Each structure stands twice: as structure tokens, then as C-alpha cells.
Structure 1
């Protein structure tokens, strides 16, 4: 037995008072004259015995009475050792899209919220975090309405991040009993970089399950081919069940455009749609299934492409540039250095210096300003360059500088496939391609990444973020690179990246930059609008374009318009990532944890038992009342 106020036990010394009163303050018997002395002696003996018994019974009852009262004030109780320890509770509630799965017509997220509301002690402080929200040091009554209104998040934390983030909410300086409760469906993707939990807190895993859930997902859509008249679109679907077919509807600006049926083979399906070439489509693909709802809709946009402006400043043949930057996608123009109109530079997206012997100082200044304003620059040196004029320009980009010319044949043998310029260009890594070669090149010192490399490790092409430099001329008498299959994807991608166009759709939460061929004033702001909702993306204005960055916004999928006040520039679509559509889950029995359960109620009941305290003060109050009653009875019995 333990006491909440053990210092009050000193009051037990007060029990000496009734003992002293009963032992040293005895009542004296008066002698009464009586004619019959023998009878008097008999009565006197009986009275003394009765009086002594009464006094001892009263002494015992009063001692027990005062003892019960004193013990009641000390508030005695029974408990486990950990029940007296201060506690901290941190709860992770998974609100990712896979928690849209239903059990008894209720989503797993709603089930988890309702069980938490019923199970959490009303006055207990705790910290609760989801994939996108945090409620620190709060109580249930303060966040109950917000819990009920929780929405699903595009983000899903992996277990390692859950443990790491949860541990930061504990007070490491206090010797408290720390409990981290993880409530999730535990998809397999959460096990990425799995780490053991720390031993300074207890982890409790609760897996919410929905039974056998059948789900169909609209995974993606892409342009499979196009012609002068039509564009062919293909959409990919997947399922985790043995479903044979499902209807797929295509809407354009809310109106039904086409409808077809997806036939599944090995749980995969492809559907095709044909739309007129160069038409504007604000498309929505829809299916209906009994599984997750977030992947039943896929938004996309098709609009006439903006043409990218490319200027070639040439002192060599540019036929290869004309063949690459064709009229259907680019506005290519060329000019000799002497006839260059400097005012036209700001209107370009990509400028190519094609084998200039010398770069004039005036052109250097304009090109630096052009690059600072978001333009892209490609430099191809000539055979007889004036090194100082080149170094004046390129030294400002990755500290690049030219030194001596290297004479001799060198093969281009290595491709940096991880470079952003080549991402999504090659289906696989090419190792045995026909090596281009050069007969001479310029040695460079630079901090720029290498894209193409000679066999001796020196770079043939360097650059990043709109600055690119070939270390050798591309003239036929120096290099056969113009005849290589590498030249088209290399230069074409440089042109495409100089004005980042929107894809058919973007992914919510994924960092992505697109460019608009517009120039805004200082007080002009571009907004994303969906019905009456508006968000402002990160944006940066240049002389010839405006760059928009998406990542933090928007947070909801759908069709959006890009506006500036009443002016609409274009439409753009966003879809949720499909990473949670594949419903495969972990066995939590194999995960390190202090406890594992499938019920929130049972976990908190077990924690409540561990923390339970059996209070005894009420019993001692009852005992005190009983001893008062005993004293009254003693007084009545022994009159």
C-alpha cells in the first residue's frame, strides 16, 4: 500500500491522547451506605468489571476511529510501479489515401478517429500527428472536432520517419514513461528504410484492416501517337482482383466525350481514345469501383503547344540546327554575328553560339543578362577561337575556363544518364553505341557536370540549368558528332527545357517548374483557380517568360486555370500519386514493437490498466463511520 500524503502518518502519534485519557483519567466510584453490606459488596464488584470492559471497548473503537480518519487523509492506494511515473503519449494517425478503404461502410480513417475519441482519457494530455498535421500537448476536447474533420493526405510517412518524428515530440530531459502509438494500415511502402525503434520509448502498433478489398486504379494517360489529323491517347489501368472489365468514361470540360470498356489481362488494362489534332481538351477520365475512390478519376489537359524561340548566331553551317528545331515546335531564326539585332535576344528562349571565333564584349554583356533572366545558352567553339573572349563569358558559369587545345583523335565513350538533360530520354543505358569522335578539343577546367565524356575522362559536353558548352567544334572536319544519334536528343532536349511546358498532367506534391511565355509587371501575380478556390504558386518573372513552381500547392487534384486577374493563360491538371493503389500490407508481427494490436480500444484499455490506481481513502472513511456506530452501541449496551 502506498500513500499520496505520507507525511500525515505522523498524526498517528495523536492516538496516544485517548490512551492517556482512558488510563489516567478514570472515573471514581462513590461509596453509598447500605444496610446490607454483603449485597453492597456484590454490586460493587460487578459494577467495576462492567465499567472496565466498557472503557477498554471505547478505547479500542476510538483508536480505530482516529486511525481510519488519519489514514483516509493520507489517501492510501494500490498501484503498479509504472502507474506513479509521469507519462508522455505520442500518437501517429495515418490519414493517407489507402485509409479510404471501408470496413462496415465506414472508412478506416473514420473508424480510427471514432475509436480514438472513445478510448482516449478525457483529461490526458498527448501529442497527435498525421501525415500533414500536428497537434502538440493537447487534450481530446480541444481537437475532437478537428479529428472528426480530418481529410486524406497525398503524403504517407514511412516507418523510419514516423519513429524519428514521433521521438522529437517527447521531452528527452524528463524521466517519463514514453509511449508512441502508431495507427495505420501498414502498407508495404512504409517499410522503406525500416529502422528499429529506440529503447527509450515504447512503440505500440495498431493495424487497421478492411478485409479483402477489391480496387481498380486509373494509373496514367499518355499520347501514344499523333498525326496531322488526330492524337491517340492511351490510359493504363490496374486492379488487385480478378475483374474482367470495367467501363471508362472520358469527359471534356464536364461533357461526356467518349466511353469504352477496359479489358483486364493479368490485372492490367489499356484503353485508347482518339481526339482531333491541335484541339483543346480539359479531360477527365472516370471509373466506378468499390475500392479506393481517390484513384477513380484522372485529370489531363491537351492544348496547342507554345512554340519555343531559338536563335542561332552562326559563323558556321547551321543546317543541322534547322533540321532539329523544326517549325512544328520551334521558332528557329539565325543570323551572322555582324548582323545580330541585340534587341531580339530578350525574346528568345535558347541562344546558340555556333562556332564563333571571337565573342564581342557587347555580346558577352547581353548574353549574361539574358542568362540571368532565365534564358538558355549553348556554346559551340570554333577551330580558331580567341580564348580570352570565350573565358570572359563562360567564367561566370560554373567557373569554367578554357586552356590549351588538345590535338589527336578521341572517342566519346561515356554518357551521364543521371544528368537532368538525359532523364526520360533513354529507355535503357546504352553501352555499345557507335562512338562519335573528334580530332581536336579544348581542355577546360570547370565545376559544371559532365554530360558526354572522352575515353581519357575529359569532357566533350558540360553544363546544367540552361548553360551548355561543347569542348570541340562540330564541323565535319573536326567531329562526326552531327552524324551521331546522340545529337538529336541532346540538342532537342536543350530546346525543350529552355521553356518548360506543362505535361498532360502534374502530380500533387511533386516539385515541378513550368514556364509561361509571358512577362509580368511588378504588381502582377499569377494564381491557380479551381471553381472559387485560388492558390498562389511560387513564381519568378523574367524578361521573356514567367516560371511557376509547384510542390507545396496545390494540395487537391483537379483541373485548374492559370490566371492573372481576369486573364486566363492556360489550363493545367493535377492528379494524386498512385503509390497507394497497390494494396499490399506488412505483417506487423514481424516489426519491432512493444505491443501489436488490431484494436485501438484494447490498447488503451491495457495502458489504462498499467496506469490504474486503486484508491482506498473512501474505505477508511466508511471504517471511521462504522467505528462511530460501534461506540454508540457500546454506550447503549453498557449503561
Structure 2
């Protein structure tokens, strides 16, 4: 059955007026037969009447045939087409616009008896492209490609080549976005057949999580056909590494690093004695077994040592299953080699114990420079990770220190031996820190002193400094002169004195940190610098403060990497992608502080180079919702289309049958012009035969 006939070239229908020509000619050529009287053959009169009657019937038949021939020729040129009916040999002529949506998310990598879902999608798409004809046009849209700008083309070889080269993406698919994009494309076409093809496993995560507010009824109107191919056909066994966290906040060479790895069992069967491997810079550094019940997650803690410094690639990996892409997860840590440190001091008494403490680990771990406050203006602070400020005379350059911290540097503020409270408070105010309320005690007078009261032993600077049993037995220094100081809710107090003041406090400013001591590192103030805890604590503090908080290590494929240009000295940076390909970006160091990099469709490590120097290492991971093999059914998809106010025709294609037959049966535009022309030719032959016969009959009567 078909709904109706339409014409692809309706302007030609004006030619139907030509059907009147045979009628006019017939009327003009009507002739009366001569009467011939036979004197002796009266019976021939009846015979003559019979012949004339037959001739008139044939003449009317000729008139009908000639009118039909004209009508059929005009109809043929008007290109009649049937909607909703496929007739063999007639479908190829109607011009088609086909937009093919391919789900390239990594859940499509599941292997079935026909191959991976993704390869099946590409094969079906190739079949459809290969049967397109001259005058047709097509476009490819990939569901996970955030930056695509597809265009309709009649270069079908280029589309097939694009399909051949396309690989699985780690970016989260967006069904709503690609359906809208496809609808916009087909509506730009003037072709009769406007078709959208959707190849996907219909994993539920492709549907929008929020209520759809789009009304696509104008784009997805009655002239659109949407063919859906559901490619999932098996129960999937899959475990995924959902998270890889670093439990440490201080990283040192040859010191243990603890990683917390979350593994989820998305299958319907329990897993026992699964194996998790941890790799550092591509080498297996640890291995641990785990059990995971069906539908549950488990956290596996793994310790590993790194024998290298700098940026370390960290990867957690489990054994193979139906979906390979989520069996690895990535992170990156930075283990400093030589930590560049700056001491700003105007008098040796304010910094001598500090320098002695830093020298205990040798110049191979902490490399420090000492400058006075007058030299601060000329210094490139971005060349340092940690700055110790042991001077009050920095008011003119305090904004420079403030920006250093905001950009990710760390600052330790220590009162000078002869601290000026007014200058100190002025500096604290510029750094957005609480102000000191005054002095307590007397310098060089130990008759009245205070000690440590509360210590936050869970803070990273105390990690591995003491045996667990000894933590509560630290010998407190005697502090006889100090600044009355409180965090006032702006920061956290790491060490508190019995008097109530904060001895050591920590603050966050921008991307960096600030530590504040309320006591100078001088024997006239306290004996803190003479205690065994002093040097290890200062060194640990430097390692802690040198660590950069890298929020970008939780990036998901497709998200933007923000590249900080603070430590860039060249006019171009290079981004090496996980597949070893490279992108080069020209930058303007005068006007730019950040560069946004968006080509992050792969999971793995994105290494940022300035010249030959590696300045950052960003770990990008897959969207974990792709790991859960829960699939939508036909009703779910129909409900989604209802929300879009879809007005077109949905055709569900069974991949186990011949898809092209299904498409041809449903396709618009079975053109009938060949049939009309063939019938016209047949009628013309009949007309000529009858016309000759009539001519002979007329000659016989006239004779």
C-alpha cells in the first residue's frame, strides 16, 4: 500500500493541456462517408453500416490512445513518484540526502559473532553510501566528536575513507546533539529523499540525563525518515577501573606512594582473584588481587616506589574483558628533583638556621638562593617553587609575592629577628592573611615560655617523620618570645601553643599556599631551631609546598585542558597526545596567561612541552558511564523522539535481515517515469497498428 503519488518536476504538468490536441484534430477531421446506392445488392447496405460502426469505434479508440500517450509523456517528464512503496527498478532515480550518525564511543568495541559493534556500524554505513547515485549527497556524524562540522558531499569515496580511518573515541556520546545536527543538515537539502541513519548499541548513557526542552518538529518533520540500527546483541561481561587516586600529598624519590584504585563489576557474575597491576612510566611497579561482586565496586590500595624524578606516568590496569578501553585508568604525579627555593632575608640571624636545615638534605634535592629585599624587584619569581620570606621590608614588592602565590607558588612567612609589627601586618594584609595582635614574652628571656599544645599530626608535613608510637611524645621547644596570632577562620592551625596562639598555620591563596610562623628562627625567640624536629620539619615543608595542585588530572576525554603559561619562555608550545601525534600552538606571552586545548578525544597522557622542556603532564580518562552495559529498548527511543516532538517516520532496521531491502521498501521516491514512458511507447505501437487498420477500412469503403 502507498500513501500518495507526488511529482518531482511538477512544472511540466502544464503540458497536460496538450492532451486536448488529439481531440481538436479528431473533431476537425470528422468526415461524412459518401452514400453509394446499390440497385441490385440491397443486402450490402447492412454490411456498410456495420463497417462504418466499427470504424467509428476504432476512431474513438485512437482518440483515447492519443490522449493517453500525450498524458503519459507529460507525466513521465513530470517525474511521478510514490511515497512509501518500493517498485523494483524505480527507486534509484529519486535523489537522496543521507546523514549517517555513527556511535564511536568505546562501548561499541564489544565483539559479537559479526565482529565489533563499531565495525558492524561502519560496514552498514559503507553499504548505504555505496548504493548512493549521482545527484545524491551524504554526510557523516560521529556521536562522540565534540568539534565536528560535517558537510553534505557527493564525494562518497571520501566518506568511505573517513569511515575506514575512524577509531573508537573515549569522549562521552551526545545523542541529542548529533540528532539536532543531522536534522539541520537534511533540511538544507532540496532532494526528495531526506534520511537520517543512526548506528548505535543504544547504551542508556547516550540519552540526555536532564529533561529535553528542544522542539525539533520543524526540522524532524513529515518529510524525514529516521532509520535506527540497534547493534547490541549479547550479554556483556565487563569490569572497569573507575578511579585512580593518589593518597600522598608529598612525593619523594624512592619513597612509597599509595594509590587508591576503584574497580567496578558491571557484569552479572562475581569476580574472584582479579588482578590489578600498577605501572609507573610504563613499568609494572606493583600488583594486587581483588574480589568484586556482581554490580558492586571495590577500592584497592596499592603502594609503589618510583626510582625517577619529574613527571611520572601512573596507570592502573585490570585483566581483559568484553570492553577493553575502561581496563586502564591514568594519573600523573610530579616527584621533584632539585626544588628551586628562594630565601629573602636582610640579616643573617633571620635565615642562618633555615639555611642549615635546608643543607641537611644536600644540594641535590633542594637548591636555594638567598637574596635581600632590595633585590626582589629584579627577580623572576616563576623560577622558584618555594619562597621563605624572612624580611619585613618588602612592602613595595608584596604584590609581586602575592601574584607568585596566586599563580601556584608557595610562600613561608617568618618574622625577622627584629620584626616590625606594623610592617609585618601591612604585608599580611596584602597577602589577605589575618593580622597579628601584638607580641608576647621577652626576647632572650626564658623565664617565661610557652610550649606546643595541639599538633595536627595528620598533616602531610608530619608523614613518615616519626614512628607511630612516638607521635604524641614530641619534645616541644620552649618559646619565650612570639607574635600573638590567630587564623580567624581563614586558614588552618597546624601547631597551636599552650597560650592559644597559632605557631604554624596554613592558608590557600589562588593556586598556591602560604605558611606563617609566629616565631623567628632565632635562639633569642625560642629554641625551636635547636630541636631535632626543626630540620626534618623544614625539609618536609619544602617538599609539601613544592607540590602543585593539579586539578586537571581528573579530566575526562573531550574536556578542555587549560595550559598555564606562567613558566613558558618560548613563543610556541607542543602538545604530545597519547597516540604520539603532536599539536603545535603559537602563543602570545604578553597578552596570554592561559591556552585552552580541546583535542582531547583519547584517554592517556597529554605532555606539554616548551621547547624541549616538559612543563606539564595531564592525565585524561574515559567517561565511566560508558562502562555500564545497560541498553535502552525501542520504546525508550520512541519516548525520546516524542520529547523532541519528532514528526517524521521511524524505521527500525533489523541487522539480521538485509538492511538495504528494508531501506528500499521504506524509502521515499519510487519514480515511475520509466513505466509511464514504456506504457506510452506500447500505446503508440497499438495506436499505429489501429490507425493503419482504420485507413484500410476507409479505403475499402470508398472503393
Partner of 1:630: 690
CA deviations over 1:443-469 (Å, ceiling 9, x no partner):
xxxxxxx9669xxxxxx9784255x89
User: Is 1:92–1:129's contact at 8 Å kept on the other side of the alignment?
Assistant: yes
1:535 to 546, 562, 583: 583
Partner of 2:524: none
Partner of 1:464: 510
Does residue 132 of structure 2 align to residue 122 of structure 1?
yes
Partner of 2:676: 617
User: Is 2:387–2:411's contact at 8 Å kept on the other side of the alignment?
Assistant: yes
Partner of 2:209: 192
Q: How does 1:304-315 map to 2 (within 5 A)?
A: 304-311=335-342, 313=344
Partner of 1:48: 48
User: Is 1:308–1:330's contact at 8 Å kept on the other side of the alignment?
Assistant: yes
Cα distance in 2 between the residues matched to 1:606 and 1:464: 62
Cα distance in 2 between the residues matched to 1:164 and 1:390: 56
Distance 1:387 1:560, change over 3 A: closer
Distance 1:105 1:46, change over 3 A: closer
Distance 1:339 1:61, change over 3 A: closer
Of Structure 1 and Structure 2, the greater strand share is in: 1
User: Is 1:539–1:547's contact at 8 Å kept on the other side of the alignment?
Assistant: no
User: Is 1:100–1:108's contact at 8 Å kept on the other side of the alignment?
Assistant: yes
Partner of 1:577: 622
Partner of 2:327: 296
User: Is 2:260–2:302's contact at 8 Å kept on the other side of the alignment?
Assistant: yes
Partner of 2:22: 15
SS at the partner of 1:213? coil
User: Is 2:110–2:322's contact at 8 Å kept on the other side of the alignment?
Assistant: yes
Cα distance in 1 between the residues matched to 2:46 and 2:633: 84
CA deviations over 1:553-604 (Å, ceiling 9, x no partner):
4544456776677x57589574541421122233452433144736474897
Please, which runs of 5 or more residues in structure 2 have no aligned partner? Answer: 87-93, 439-483, 493-505, 521-537
1:147 to 158, 163, 179: 163
Q: How does 1:198-347 map to 2 (within 5 A)?
A: 198=215, 199-202=217-220, 204=226, 206-223=229-246, 230-233=256-259, 235-241=261-267, 242=269, 243-248=271-276, 261-265=289-293, 267-268=296-297, 275-279=304-308, 286-298=317-329, 304-311=335-342, 313=344, 337=373, 343=379, 345=381, 347=383
Partner of 1:433: none
Q: 1:620 Cα shift?
A: 3.6
Cα distance in 1 between the residues matched to 2:381 and 2:640: 62
2:598 to 552, 555, 563: 552
Distance 1:462 1:181, change over 3 A: same
SS at the partner of 1:583? coil
Q: 1:512 Cα shift?
A: 4.2
Q: How does 1:516-531 map to 2 (within 5 A)?
A: 520-522=569-571, 525-526=573-574, 528=576
User: Is 1:248–1:285's contact at 8 Å kept on the other side of the alignment?
Assistant: yes
Q: 1:71 Cα shift?
A: 0.8
SS at the partner of 1:153? coil
State the Cα RMSD in Å.
Answer: 5.9
User: Is 1:90–1:180's contact at 8 Å kept on the other side of the alignment?
Assistant: yes
CA deviations over 1:506-552 (Å, ceiling 9, x no partner):
75444445779976455x7545377864333687879xxx9996743
Distance 1:494 1:99, change over 3 A: same
1:96 to 105, 110, 119: 105
Does residue 177 of structure 2 align to residue 161 of structure 1?
yes
Q: 1:177 Cα shift?
A: 9.5
Cα distance in 2 between the residues matched to 1:330 and 1:97: 45
Does residue 164 of structure 2 align to residue 109 of structure 1?
no
Partner of 1:414: none
With 605-614 and 102-111 compared, the bigger mean Cα shift is at 605-614
Count of aligned positions: 563
Partner of 2:640: 592
SS at the partner of 1:238? strand
TM-score, normalised with respect to structure 2: 0.61
Q: 1:314 Cα shift?
A: 6.7
Cα distance in 2 between the residues matched to 1:97 and 1:40: 99
Cα distance in 1 between the residues matched to 2:169 and 2:556: 13
Distance 1:98 1:66, change over 3 A: same
With 501-510 and 65-74 compared, the bigger mean Cα shift is at 501-510
Q: 1:147 Cα shift?
A: 2.4
Q: Greater RCO between the two (CA within 8 Å, min separation 6)?
A: 2
CA deviations over 1:148-190 (Å, ceiling 9, x no partner):
4322222224344345544554658999997665443333333
Distance 1:610 1:513, change over 3 A: closer
CA deviations over 1:284-313 (Å, ceiling 9, x no partner):
655443411222345566674245445464
